[in-house]
Amino acid sequence: MKLTKQLPVALGLACALMLSSCSKEDIATPQPQAESINMHSNEKVESLSPSILPTQTEYLGEAILPNGWQRNNTGFSTNPEAYPVGVSNRYRLWGDPAKLFVQGMPLIPWASNLDAFITVTTSSILSKTNKSSVKTKITGLWPGKKYALTVYVGSSLPKAAPGIPYATFAKSCLLTLGYQNTSLETVVDLTSYKACWVQKVIAFTALGPQMDLAFSASPAQAGQYAYAHLLVSSGAVKQVN
């Protein structure tokens, strides 16, 4: 996690856990590091309800995004052919029957109805111009209050097919919470997690009534092409005090 500006923000990393259907090479699972988050605090402000639009949608495809999500062109690639974004499902890139994944992404046991997710592309570690990004807004926030955002990220390989670049697994994903000129960056290391979901819980203090959330990814080496996935449920943001 990295701050790009000094913040009066209480930040936290709650967990990064591997689901049971990950590949066999992912044996060493790091112990979750959790902060104490009281989801039932009586200090909650009832007049506001934090909200983020989910990635689940019935519409799949390249250049298609769920309601409330959009391509993030601020500093990132604006070339939708070289670095597309879109919605995939567990077995197919962009939901295309001709673009199967080598190994399908698993269902999340406690969210088995969520079988669609956003996919971004990358071939760069540092340069944003060689990767795509998506963004949305978290709304209903009370400035100064603390919240926990839960998302799932992962990477998978599509089978060789016409129109699909040779791909490797993404090495890391970047989740950026932003408000005006201030941002909080959280990196999720995917090195040991292939074709499975990693849960990430980010504790943050609201800087305004709404904040931006952006998602992008990086390969292990510059020049390697990779696909990364983001899954967000409708109840992904909870007030914790």
Using H for helix, E for strand and C for coil, what is the string for the chain?
Answer: CEECCCCCCCCEEEEEEECCCCCCCCCCCCCCCCCCCCCCCCCCCCCCCCEECCCCCCCCEECCCCCCCEECCCCCCCCCCCCCCEEEECCEHHHCCCCEECCCCCCCHHHCCCCEEEEEEECCCCCHHHECCEEEEEECCCCCCEEEEEEEEEECCECCCCCCCCEEEEEEEEEEEEECCEEEEEEEECCCCCCCCEEEEEEEECCCCCEEEEEEEEECCCCCEEEEEEECCCCCEEECC
Residues 13-61 have pLDDT tens digits of 334 444 444 544 332 333 333 333 343 444 443 457 999 999 999 999 9
Which domain, by its residues, includes 207? 2-239
Tell me what the pLDDT averaged over the chain comes to. Answer: 85
Give the span between the Cα atoms of 152 and 119, in whole angstroms.
Answer: 12
More confident residue, 177 or 109: 177
If we measure between CA atoms, which residue out of 22, 91, 39 comes closest to residue 60? 91
For 4-8, 59-63, 82-86, 157-161, which range has the lowest pLDDT when averaged over its residues? 4-8
| Angstrom distances, CA of residue 145 to CA of 35, 49, 98, 111 | 16, 12, 47, 27
Query: Residue 192 maps to which CATH number?
Result: 2.60.120.260
19 vs 205, higher pLDDT? 205
pTM: 0.82
Q: What was the pLDDT predicted at 18? A: 46
Dihedral sign for Cα atoms in the order 87, 156, 2, 79: negative
**Residue-wise pLDDT tens digits, 78-104:** 999 999 999 999 999 999 999 999 999
Question: Is the pLDDT score of 9 beyond 80?
Answer: no
Angle at Cα 143 formed by Cα 140 and Cα 145, nearest 5°? Answer: 90
Answer left, alpha or beta for residue 61, where phi above 0 means left and psi between -120 and 50 means alpha.
Answer: left
pLDDT > 70: what percent of the chain? 80
Domain count along the chain? 1
pLDDT(120) > 60: yes
Taking alpha carbons only, the member of 228, 216, 233, 212 closest to residue 174 is: 216
Distance separating alpha carbons of residues 137 and 76, to the nearest angstrom: 18
Check: CB of residue 218 under 8 Å from CB of residue 122. Answer: yes
